[in-house]
Structure formats: structure tokens, C-alpha cells
Amino acid sequence: MSYKPANKIQDLQYFGEFGGVNPSISDSSTYTFLSAKTMFDTFEGDADGCYLYSRHSTPSNLYLGEALAAMEDTETANVAASGMGAITPVLLQLCEAGDHIVSSRTIYGGTYAFLKNFTPRLGISTSFVDITNLEKVAAAITPKTKVLYCESVSNPLLEIADLEALSALSRKHNLKLVVDNTFSPLSITPVKHGADIVIHSLTKFINGSSDTVGGVVCGSQEFIDQLRNVNDGASMLLGSTMDSLRASSVLKNLRTLHIRMKQHSHNALYLATQFQADGLRTVYPGLISHPSHEVFKRMMNEEYGFGGMLTIDVGSLDKANALMELMQERNLGYLAVSLGFYKTLFSAPGTSTSSEIPEEEQVEMGLTDGLIRFSVGLDNDIERTYQEMKKCMYEVGVFETAAVI
Ligand SMILES: *Cc1c(COP(=O)(O)O)cnc(C)c1O
């Protein structure tokens, strides 16, 4: 795979109003028109390049969108105030009452809750399937199905979606393949493997400093125009707009994403390899033991690695909690949800980010009590971090009860 998304970001060139090296921030919520006719045309969607009102678009948001579209190799993109603020309008734009969605069952807890508890109120139903089992995915498709929804690397179980196979299926049934690529920016370029629409929570790796929420939808000009349509566009009408100041700060962070991803991936592969050698049940797409290691390898833009997320199973929730508290006390990372920070973040997904998923379903999908999800940080000396983590594991008795391979 020769696609180099970081090159595409680097090649963009913007200047500020006074020749500044960063684009000027558009500090306005509304825009003047030189003629009344242009205002009318803009509302009708006929005046390209005119700004109307900042819920629709702003120069700062368009710069960020353009950079993210370059990264994901789509025609264009629309940024949003959060990842959920990107996901929910996409699904509501594509589906109406009576329609059906086939979704991976291991997805972000908020997306799961939206599909399970909220969209049924609007007459939209969802079947949740094991996305790695193509027969089950195919069997769930009905004449009412409009969308096939998955995460390229799933939260929190790190299952890998075989996007080529899923896109063949979605083309056959005339569905839209919508992929949340939050866990694998740069590493995987979903449209290269047939995705129609790619979504990110910018809150995570892309912004990378855990100081804001944000989201983006990358897709065709036609679809993004639909989302932004003043009369019936879900992004425009639901109103989860990113602020211009924030768009400009996310754009600045995006420029270092490739360096950060390489370090996240390097550190995560190191820890995963060591944890597995210690006999802990470790899930990381870069390990040959991962059931979809080959699928990831086939899709990946190699230089960015297998990403910064890994899980281990320490046998019980009590051990998981004790370990996380001790690791935090020793300053090896923070007991916090979210991901993509310079510090390692760890949490027990069954009782936090995936607590929306009922317990029986958690068991069925392999989301065990002792599971700890790590977003591995940018540590300069990961060997030292590993040695310190191992000491913590001995102290809380992980090796006595851990699910060993
Ligand atoms: C965090 C996350 C979201 C939601 O994003 P917010 O910015 O918190 O709204 C969606 N999908 C995935 C995979 C996530 O990790």
C-alpha cells in the first residue's frame, strides 16, 4: 500500500490573512453579503464560496475538514462538535422510519446506546452482529437495510473489520458502508478498502491532547452537501457545530499526528509483546496471535504501525481495579477513559465506556470483568515503563489469577 496520508496533510498550504504561517481564525458567527441577491442564492445553495452563518460552515472549519479529507482520501469532510455529533447526523441522514441498520456489536458505547435505545424511537432498527463473521453479517441484511456500520478497529475488543469483504457485501445490497476509524487514524484508510463514509472522534488520537471533543465525517461532496443542507441536512439542523477557535487548534495538532502514531504504535507493540511473553492474555492487532492480524496487515499503511490500543485480561475486576490504581499511584498513566493522550490511559471497559452494553451481551462478545484497555502513551522509555508495570502486577497478585494463554 503506497498511500501516505501524512504526506497529503503536509502538502496542504494555508496562509493567514497577513501572511501568517497559520490560517487566520474566523472569529465570527455570521457573515455579510455585498448584495441581497447573493444572500438569497446562498440559502438556495447556489452561491459557492460564500459563508452564510457559522453553524453551516466557517473558514476555520473548512481548513480542518480539508486536511482530514486529504488524510482519509475523500472528496471533502464536515467537522462536528464531537464524535457523537458526527456519527448521529450521518445515521439520521441515511435512514428514515422503517429503515434498518446492520452494525458491529463491538462498537463505542455511545454509538451502541444510540442505535439500541434511541433510534428505535424514530422507527429505525438495528441488528448487532459479530462483524468478523461475514456469514452472520450477510444473514442480517434485509430489504430494509440501508447502512452497514462498523469500526475498523473495534472498541474495546480490538476486533478488525475486513473492509474489503464488507464493502463487497454492501455494494451487492446497495448499502452505505460507514466506518468509524477513531482507533486507527493514518494506519488504515477505509475508503481505500471500499468504505463510503469515514468518521472520527477527533477527541482521541487526532487531537491528541485530551483538551477538547470534536468529530468529523469524511465522504463525497454530494453526501457532505446533504448533511449541511439548510432545509434537510442533519448536521445543519441538529446543530453540533465545532467552534472556529477549536478547529484551528485541532488543525495544529493534526500536523504531528504521524509522529505521535508511530510512537504510540511502537510503545504498544513493545508492551503487548512483553505482556504476552509474561503469559497474560493480551489482545493487540500487531501480535501474530491476534485472530485478525493478517487482515490488519493487508489493510494497513505500514509506516504508522498497529496503533496504540491494547487489552489484557487480569482475571477479575478487583485485580483490574487494584492494578490500575497502583499504576496511577506510580505515575505510569492515568485511570481514565478516552485515548490518544501522551500519558498512558487505562480503564476497565465493562464498568465504564461499555457499561451501556448489558452484562449478558458483554459475556457473549468476550468483554470480561478482568479486561483492562490501555491507550499506550508516548513514553520515551517504554522499557522502564514496562518494568514498573510488571512490578505493580506482582504486587497486586495478577500472575496468580490472570487468564493465561
Ligand atoms: C470516543 C469515541 C466516539 C465518540 O466520540 P466523542 O468525541 O466522545 O463524541 C466514537 N467512536 C469511538 C470509536 C470513540 O472512541
Identify residue 167 by its one-letter amino acid code: S
The half-sphere exposure of 383 on its side-chain side, counting CA atoms within 13 A, is 0
For each of the domains in the chain, give its residue range(s) and CATH number, in order of start: 5-254 (3.40.640.10), 258-401 (3.90.1150.10)
201, 235, 309, best to mutate for ligand 1 pocket (most atoms within 8 Å of CB): 201
Q: What is the pTM of this model?
A: 0.95
82, 104, 108, best to mutate for ligand 1 pocket (most atoms within 8 Å of CB): 108
Contact call for residues 50 and 42 (beta carbons, < 8 A): yes
Give the ligand 1 atom nearest the CA of 86. Answer: 9
159, 204, 241, best to mutate for ligand 1 pocket (most atoms within 8 Å of CB): 204
Give the ligand 1 atom nearest the CA of 84. Answer: 9
Q: How far is the CA of 290 from the centre of ligand 1 (A)?
A: 24
Q: How far is the CA of 355 from the centre of ligand 1 (A)?
A: 15
The conformation of residue 156, written as its DSSP 8-state character, comes to T
Q: How far is the CA of 68 from the centre of ligand 1 (A)?
A: 16
Mean pLDDT by 10-residue block, N- to C-terminus, for the chain (405 residues)?
89 93 94 86 73 91 97 98 98 98 95 97 97 97 98 94 98 98 98 98 98 98 96 96 97 98 98 97 97 97 97 94 98 97 94 75 82 97 98 93 54
DSSP letter string over 184-230?
A: -TTT--GGGGT-SEEEEETTTTTT-SSS---EEEEE-HHHHHHHH-T
Helix (H) or strand (E) holding 104: strand 100-104
| Span 283-340, pLDDT tens digits | 999 999 999 999 999 999 999 999 999 999 999 999 999 999 999 999 999 999 999 9
CA 97 from chain center: how many Å?
Answer: 27
